[in-house]
Amino acid sequence: MNNVSIRGNLTQHISNNQGENVAGKNIKTSFSDVLKNTISEINELQVDADKAITKVELEDSGSIHEAMIALEKANISFRVMMTVRNKILDAYQEIMRMQV
């Protein structure tokens, strides 16, 4: 995975959703697609962190610094995802409380 921040990916997905041209094509993605893609990227960061830890523990070929960086990337990404999820749930609950 490229070293692209989650914020950059979400910004790109949002701008794509607004109908900007990407490689000459007008691409629109749904909110659920943005969430699915972001969750899969976060999962990939978790898997990369696990691989880095395995290299350090079992193979003695990995750098502990690289493993710690991979762990922090995965940790921060997961925390951001949970914060976004909580905000979405709060918004949903607020909408459900509205009287029609």
Residue 12 lies in a domain: yes
Residue 38 lies in a domain: yes
The mean pLDDT of 60-86, rounded to a whole number, is 91
Q: Return the pLDDT at 29.
A: 84
Residue 27 lies in a domain: yes
Residue 1 lies in a domain: no
6-17 and 31-54 helices cross at what angle (nearest 10)?
160
Domain range spanning residue 71?
6-97
Domains contained in the chain, number: 1
Angle at 28 between CA 11 and CA 7, to 5 degrees: 10
Q: What percent of the chain has pLDDT over 70?
A: 73
